[in-house]
Amino acid sequence: MSVFVKQAGTWHEIPSGGGGSPDTDNAAAAAQFTVTGSINDAGTAVTIGGKNYRYWEFAGPGTITCVKSGWGRVLLAGGGGAGGSQQLGGPINGTGGGGAGGFFEETVWMQGTLPVSVGAGGAPFVTGEEMFGGPSNVGQYGVGGGGAGGGSTLNGGAWAKPGGSGGGSAAVGVPGGSGIPGQGHNGGTITLVDSGGGGGGGAGADGQDGTTPKSGDGGAGIQSSITGTPRDFCGGGAGGIGNAGGAKGGVATHGGASAPAYGAAGLAGTAGTGGGGSGVSPGRLDGGPGGSGTVIVRVAV
């Protein structure tokens, strides 16, 4: 007799005795595979709660080839979006923080050959699509890259972009970019002229709205102990400081970039976390780049 499980819209057969429910604590039910392209293709051994595991982390493309189908724990973080940039003579608001990459951590059924891709962080001061973070995938499981923060007409307008989490806005009353449900949250907007930019959305919370006293904080990300050590992922970038006198910069966590000082270059999201880049103050052309994403796969041994 066989058991079937539905993953990502597809039914997969699990042979009897192989484990009929998601279980990465049982070595007999775990997938076995070979790996190429990871940071350590032999894997890293770790003991968590008295149980033994091995995990693989990817910073770029790779392949997982299953020699035995089974369960594995998968963490995906898409690349973070860039913070908005702004031309001289543009709006007097701060620019929006970049949205975090999408986040996914689940126990999944693994079989066959699974290509791996890791999203790059979004690059600032370019138009349109290049400001988005890149998607991360393992086989059919995937997350989107973070949305770009709003800026000026030089980089696609004050309207923040959607993504895994959405970028923060740089225009009064214009909403932040929308996040993908189940992967991330929405970016913040701004409240008044001269306000700081809206914070980029994070995997755990929306970005905060920018105000005249303070630019928007980046949305919180998520902490995971999949490798046995608590690590932060997918925080949104803070918005840039506006022209209001005495305004303060927003802060960011979980790999997102906090706002730089007024007149300074944007700050980058942390590499390997999918954090969003910061926004900047008026007249800066260099919003912060997004942090690259990551892929981590763990099985019981």
Checking DSSP bridges between strand 113-117 and strand 2-7, what pairing results, if any?
A: unpaired
Dihedral angle, C-alpha 55, 60, 66, 69, nearest 10 °: 60
Distance of CA 218 to the CA centre of its chain: 12
- Given a cut of 80, whether residue 124 has pLDDT beyond it is yes
In the chain, % of residues over pLDDT 70: 85
pLDDT digits (tens, 9 = 90+) for 7-66: 445 544 444 334 445 666 788 889 999 999 999 999 999 999 999 999 999 999 999 999
pLDDT for position 46: 96
Q: Token digits for 92?
A: 């007097």
188 or 87, higher pLDDT: 188
Amino acid at the residue 178: S
pLDDT for position 93: 87
pLDDT digits (tens, 9 = 90+) for 185-225: 999 999 888 889 999 999 999 999 999 889 999 999 999 99
The string of DSSP letters for the chain reads: -EEEEEETTEEEEEETTS-SS--SS-GGGB-EEEEESSS-TT-EEEEETTEEEEEEEESS-EEEEEEE-EEEEEEEEPPPPPPP---TTS-SSPPPPPPPPPEEEEEEEE-SEEEEE-PPPPPSSS-GGGGSPPPEEETTEEEPPPPPPP--GGGT-SS---BSSPPPP-SBTPPPPPBPTTT--PPP-B-STTPPPPPPP-SSSPPPPB-SSBPPPPPP-EEE-TTSS-EEE-PPPPPPP-SSTT-B-----TTPPPPPPTTSPP-PPPTTTTPPPP---TT-S-PPPPPP-EEEEEEE-
